[in-house]
Structure 1
Amino acid sequence: MESTIEVTDLRKRYGPAVALDGMSFTVTPGHVTGFVGPNGAGKSTAMRVILGLDAPDGGTALIGGRPYRSLSRPLTHVGALLDAGALQPSRSARNHLLWLAHSQGLTARRVDEVIEQAGLREVARRRADGFSLGMRQRLGVAAALLGDPSVLILDEPFNGLDPEGIVWMREFLAGLAAQGRAVLVSSHLMSELQDTAGHVVVIGRGRVIADAAVHELLAGVARDRVTLRTLSRPEAVVVLEEAGATVTAAGLDTLTVSGLTAERVVARLSAHAVPFSEVSAHRATLEEAYMELTRDAVQFRAATEEAR
């Protein structure tokens, strides 16, 4: 329970706008949970409610079975990065962290430890106003780690990072989860979440659309789709459609086959002496799953904005 986030039937309105409409999900320890949805879906609001920055109109958000506001020395329970720019620009990176550490009764030694973890040793005494967005992200991660919390909530931590920084962040988050922490990460970079998250919560219009392991979402999108390359397209279409497949053109010599596994496609073509150069099972991506799951939410938002 100590490192679990439990969101139950959260509701929140801002005037006539519904931000959260009965949202429920759980973030468990031991893996990274991706938190994704279109702009305006309610991600930021949900994270702010979890962290006690906004009060819900209904429902609960608990960390280790308790609301954030009841936690003493909260940085020792949950670390958060919501805005990499939320710092005093005239302070050095180390002084920024010292200020936060003193507020929680943490030591300067702990500050130096997280500076090392976040790869900030060379710039620790530089003023933060000279930092790139990527370096501010690292500083935000260092601040989130100060209290060695069992729960981490990070909003768009990949933004502003160069390729080396993205690889670092991906491995760093995986390492934190491997230590038994609950890690909730909001991001628009689906490729990074696919390589990092073990579980994904997809939201739209303030509601949970999907709450599943990444491999389950990808399996649902793939649906036995197969890429076939052949110079005998007409013959292949006839043979495969007779077997119940749906076949669509994807290029001059390429077909997309749905409804048959790659093994069955090979067997069917071979049995009818239809030549082919490639048969490969479709590898679905998290971006495909996301686009398919959130299509209605995006269309709803566009229709609403047009009506205004």
Structure 2
Amino acid sequence: MIVVNGLRKRFGSQTALDGMTFSVEPGQVTGFVGPNGAGKSTTMRVILGLDAPDAGTALVGGRPYRSLSRPLCHLGSLLDAGALQPGRTARNHLLWLAHSQGLPGRRVDEVLERAGLQGVARRAAGGFSLGMRQRLGIAAALLGDPPALMLDEPFNGMDPEGIIWMRRHLRGLAAEGRAVLVSSHLMSELQDTADHVVIAGRGRVIADTNIAALLESAGAGRVTLRTDAASIDAAAGVLTAAGAVVTRADARTLAITGLAAEAVVSLLTSRGVPFAEISSHRATLEEAYLELTRDAVEFRAMSPSPSPSPSPSPSPSSEVTR
């Protein structure tokens, strides 16, 4: 279990962490998301003892990471897939890590197989693609068979097959009872992988919740109605009279809030108004994330201003002869 409590950290005049607090529970994948500058990387560095907080604590299994005698047996981590000696083979890269923790050589072969790298174990890691380096980083994180894992952007550089493998692998690790923390900007992958999500902004936690509950609340009360053009005005009138807020999306579609889908069906049926389709809106993690972090974005691009129209060049017929 990873427990972060009241972390504060400044770099000069810049506040990186402002009371960051959350926990990563065993048996589930916890997504860690937020805009650039939200404090995600600093939080993970503090957990690993790479940065010292100004206040607060970060504990792995109830202890600071720096106090652990064999840390890879408590927390496996992947912060930078490129952090390796490029001339070493994949197997030798893992061997020196294993030896540093007192782990047997056979454990290296086990994690190479689990990461799907047994066929390239004797190739120099410097020649690996980013996706293969990600797999090697996962193998390194698993060396000590730790009860907790922390991975930063593990989907980066993965091809479709690799993304599917990573998604299944992370869920499998949680199913084994491990606490898994995954930071990523790929919301669609986290939505399909994580059970829980921690959303950070400006150095603090904005939301710490179950993903299913978050999506349900984000999409609550939004209904789409499709009907024929001849019936759309009648449908809008009936629903508005019942207290719904109705917006016409196009000639045959209404967006409705304030009434559940079941109530819309019952109301239109009782009034004899025909319809082709009624569906409740299912929010995505990306939609919920953008709504929650709207005021926490540190860097926001300005909308481009329209370019001024160039002054027309004088035509030969308008030239003045002196």
User: TM-score, normalized by length of structure 2?
Assistant: 0.91
Gaps of 5+ in 1: 304-308
Partner in structure 1 of residue 254 of structure 2: 255
Question: Any conservation in 1 of the 2:36–2:299 contact (CA below 8 Å)?
Answer: no
Equivalent residue number for residue 288 of structure 2: 289
* SS at structure 2 position matched to 1:148: coil
Tell me the equivalent position of 2:96.
Answer: 99
Hey, what does 1:218 align to over in structure 2?
A: 215
SS in 2 for 1:129: helix
1:113 equivalenced with 2:110 (yes/no): yes
Q: The residue matched to 1:102 in structure 2 has which SS?
A: helix
CA distance in 1, matches of 2:45, 2:290: 25
Q: Which residue of 2 aligns with 1:191?
A: 188
Name the counterpart of 1:277: 276
Q: Distance in 2 between matches of 1:84 and 1:11?
A: 27
For residues 264-298 of structure 1, give each alpha carbon's deviation from its aligned partner in whole angstroms, at most 9, with x where no partner exists.
Answer: 11111111221111001111111111111111112
Moved over 2 A (4+): 249-252, 300-303
Q: Does 1:169 align with 2:166?
A: yes
8 Å contact from structure 1 (residues 10, 20) kept in 2: yes
Match for 1:207: what amino acid? R
**Distance in 2 (alpha carbons) for counterparts of 1:93 and 1:198:** 32
- Post-superposition Cα deviations, 1:126-184, rounded to whole Å, max 9, x if no partner, equal 11111111000000000000000001000000111111111110110011101111000
Task: Give secondary structure in 1 for the equivalent of 2:126.
Answer: helix
Instruction: Tell me how many residue pairs correspond in the alignment.
Output: 300
| CA distances 1:213-252 after superposition (whole Å, capped 9, x unpaired) | 0011011101121111012222111111111111112233
**2:135 is aligned with what amino acid?**
R
Aligned-residue Cα RMSD (Å) equals 1.2
Kindly provide the amino acid, as one letter, of the partner of residue 35 in structure 2.
P
Q: 1:25 maps to what in 2?
A: 22
Aligned counterparts of 2:204 and 2:299: Cα–Cα separation in 1 = 14
Q: Equivalent residue of 1:297, what SS? A: coil
AA aligned opposite 1:260: L
CA contact (8 A) 1:223 1:259 kept: no
1:75 counterpart = 2:72: yes
Name 1:306's counterpart in structure 2. none
CA distance in 1, matches of 2:159, 2:299: 32
> Which of 1 and 2 has greater Rg?
2
Alignment match, 1:302: 300
Q: Tell me the TM-score normalised to structure 1 length.
A: 0.95
SS state of the match for residue 246, structure 2? strand
**Overall identity of the aligned pairs, in %:** 72
Once the two structures are superposed, residues 58-102 of structure 1 have per-residue CA deviations (whole angstroms, 9 ceiling, x without a partner) of 000001110001001100000000000000111111111011111
The 2-side partners of 1:20 and 1:277 are apart by: 51
